[in-house]
């Protein structure tokens, strides 16, 4: 049953649901926590949908509806669950409601980024490129559903990427002698750059956001030349080559790859 429906149907059901969640799941019941649970459940279901599609269809799914009507309808239901979670709580004062919705959008983007880059990236069953496409479609839907907060998704996504790259620097230093943990870090980096590629193609990120990420990761991976070349080549071949409008960014990334080959 939908968590929001369960909590809002009646006082008896709300009390029962709250007791179960607190005693069995050990989760404090707050409106933000409920929204995070709702969002995470939808993301897990979206990940399952993304694994049903071949990777060659990635570009097809970025900007248009799926040819599979049933899959598209299921995807839309999951999108709507998250959107309702953001907008469901109403306040007496408009200013408080405005702040609350803005915060919920940021929370949703945080959870989406975390799920894509940390949770799903370490699953062998997950197709990172297709999942990134699905998540970007979700973010685009959020962006369009809250036109008064049209830049909030982009700002929050950019903040997450910047924080991730800083965190990754520490992870690379501390895990340099642990092959398993280092591979998990590589997997998260790869997932992040697939996410970045899908987001810039769908105009959720600007070229300056991507340039920053490329420059930062190039410094962090200065001792991991082979992985860095593979990462940047994937960004180039899988994403930036899609649209001619990214020619300057394409050239910038290609130059980074060439410099890496020359050992600069």
Secondary structure of 60-107 in HEC code, one letter for each residue: HHHHCCCCCHHHHHHHHHHHHHHHHHHHCCCCCCHHHHHHHHHHHHHH
Q: Tell me: pLDDT of 32 over 80.
A: no
Q: For the residues 15-36, what does the mean pLDDT come to?
A: 65
For the chain, how are helix, strand and coil distributed in percent, rounded to 5? Answer: 80, 0, 20
Q: Cα separations (Å) of 8 from 16, 17, 74, 85, 96? A: 11, 10, 23, 12, 21
What does the pLDDT read at residue 60?
A: 56
What does the pLDDT read at residue 1?
A: 42
How far is the C-alpha of 89 from the C-alpha of 10, rounded, in Å? 16
What does the pLDDT read at residue 14?
A: 58
Which range, 119-123, 183-187, 239-243, has the best average confidence (pLDDT)?
A: 183-187
- What's the token pair of residue 105? 């959008």
- What percentage of residues in the chain have a pLDDT greater than 90? 43
Per-residue pLDDT band at 95 (split at 50, 70, 90):
low
Q: For the residues 186-209, what does the mean pLDDT come to?
A: 95
**Residue-averaged pLDDT of the chain:** 82
Q: Tell me: pLDDT of 126 over 80.
A: no
Q: For the residues 45-56, what does the mean pLDDT come to?
A: 79
Is the model more confident about 165 or about 53? 165
What does the pLDDT read at residue 64?
A: 53
Q: Is the Cα torsion angle 37, 165, 158, 78 positive or negative in sign?
A: negative
Q: Tell me: pLDDT of 45 over 80.
A: yes
Q: For the residues 206-234, what does the mean pLDDT come to?
A: 94
Cβ atoms of 39 and 73 closer than 8 Å: no
How far is the C-alpha of 2 from the C-alpha of 117, rounded, in Å? 26
Q: What is the dihedral of CA 166, 170, 175, 177, to 10 degrees?
A: 120
What does the pLDDT read at residue 88?
A: 72
Cβ atoms of 162 and 212 closer than 8 Å: yes
Per-residue pLDDT band at 184 (split at 50, 70, 90):
very high
Q: Tell me: pLDDT of 261 over 50.
A: yes
């Amino acid at each position: 049953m939908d968590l929001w429906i369960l909590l809002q149907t009646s006082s008896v059901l709300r009390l029962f649901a709250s007791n179960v969640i607190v005693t069995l799941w050990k989760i404090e019941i707050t409106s933000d926590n409920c929204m995070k649970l709702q969002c995470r459940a939808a993301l897990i279901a979206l990940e399952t949908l993304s694994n049903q599609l071949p990777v060659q269809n990635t570009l097809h799914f970025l900007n248009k509806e799926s040819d599979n009507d049933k899959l598209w309808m299921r995807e839309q239901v999951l999108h709507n669950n998250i959107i309702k979670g953001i907008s469901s709580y109403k306040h007496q004062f408009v200013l408080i409601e405005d702040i609350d919705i803005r915060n919920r959008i940021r929370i949703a983007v945080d959870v989406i980024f975390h799920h894509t880059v940390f949770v799903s990236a370490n699953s062998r069953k997950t197709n990172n490129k297709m999942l990134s496409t699905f998540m970007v479609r979700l973010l685009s839907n959020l962006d369009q559903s809250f036109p008064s907060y049209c830049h909030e998704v982009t700002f929050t996504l950019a903040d997450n990427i910047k924080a991730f790259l800083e965190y990754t620097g520490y992870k690379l230093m501390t895990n340099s002698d642990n092959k398993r943990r280092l591979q998990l870090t590589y997997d998260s980096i790869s997932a992040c750059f697939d996410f970045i590629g899908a987001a810039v193609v769908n105009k959720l990120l600007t070229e300056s956001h991507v340039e920053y990420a490329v420059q930062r990761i190039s410094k962090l991976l200065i001792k991991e030349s082979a992985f860095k070349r593979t990462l940047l080549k994937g960004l180039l071949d899988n994403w930036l080559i899609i649209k001619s409008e990214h020619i300057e960014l394409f050239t910038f990334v290609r130059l980074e790859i060439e410099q890496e080959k020359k050992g600069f």
